[in-house]
Copies of this chain bind each other. A is one copy, B any other.
């Protein structure tokens, strides 16, 4: 409801958000399209992501939920208020109102379906489950908390304004009340990867540039090859992708006691420039075969070596991570903080293979713990009048 309307008692002139198209973090990103937004979109600054469990096994209820969520997500993405009943005195407003007057701030809302959704007999989806959508295997070093993992449906809201991202999750949760229950949610305050060549590489909470070697949306060949599902998936997943989320707790006090040299050798990059060890520019290729005094310049257990495409049979993933902090870890008396890792890939195995190597060998393991994990099948985008997941659920 973007139009002005006369409010109750003469006091409230109802004004939706202004919609701007400027590329300064205030404009709107189209919701409808071939792919869902929030994957190839240049990574916004803030994240609010939530996983929901379905309380119903009625396929009609799930269809109606996705239909309502699609409409609401499209309204919010356009900078409009959700719903149409927002100025009726005796009814609760359909939109909760905290973004009135704010700009769309490049909000994207991205939906995914977890493996558990396909295991509910009443929904009858078992036959449509892609072989790729199995729960992630146990991975070396996992210390997962089930209450921070998995979920039937995931909603990722990204925006340059955290209040706009929060508003999207909250209003979808409200629309879903009685049909879904929120299982976990995470606020990310700072992005830790770039997904567009227009963006500088940000720093994570270890103070290191993060995501230098990420796929960029402009690399359409890499997007097709590594991110978007093609003829290999079921028809309802064509143009979709698989989303992995990992809540990675950083042991910052341990990291902070490591010397600069140890930090740089752990990652394999210089801290301030982001250049690979032994190189000068952030975007110089990794000198993986170079030695000095008989030792590899990039240590054998350095994070960038083990995560590199070269050491992973060419496999790459599209990362979209965010820094988080959730107060104090009372057992340690220190900040509970880290990286909420999100990656999109054509097949979950791309992530699994990389993480299996990292989990076993990565020097970084001394400083991190994977405490949450989830996998979702992200269907392609919807067309106006349709809804996300329609080809699966209809």
Contacts and interface: CB of A to CB of B under 8 A. Distances in A.
A326 to B, nearest CB: 6
B9 A334 contact: no
A200 interface: yes
A47 to B, nearest CB: 11
A166 B9 contact: no
Interface in A1-56: 7-15, 46, 48, 50
A333 B182 CA distance: 6
A189 B189 contact: yes
Interface residues of A, number: 84
A253 B98 contact: no
A173 B186 CA distance: 23
Q: How many copies does the complex hold?
A: 2
A242 to B, nearest CB: 24
Contacts of A257: 92
Interface string A155-198: 00000011100100110011001000111111101100000000
A275 B166 contact: no
A141 interface: no
A12 B275 CA distance: 7
Given A166-B325, A185-B328, A273-B7, A207 B333 contact: no
11 contacts: A11-B264, A11-B272, A11-B280, A14-B272, A46-B189, A91-B260, A92-B257, A98-B205, A99-B203, A101-B200, A184-B328
Given A87-B260, A174-B253, A326-B327, 10 more contacts: A7-B260, A7-B270, A11-B273, A11-B277, A11-B280, A90-B259, A92-B256, A97-B206, A170-B337, A185-B327
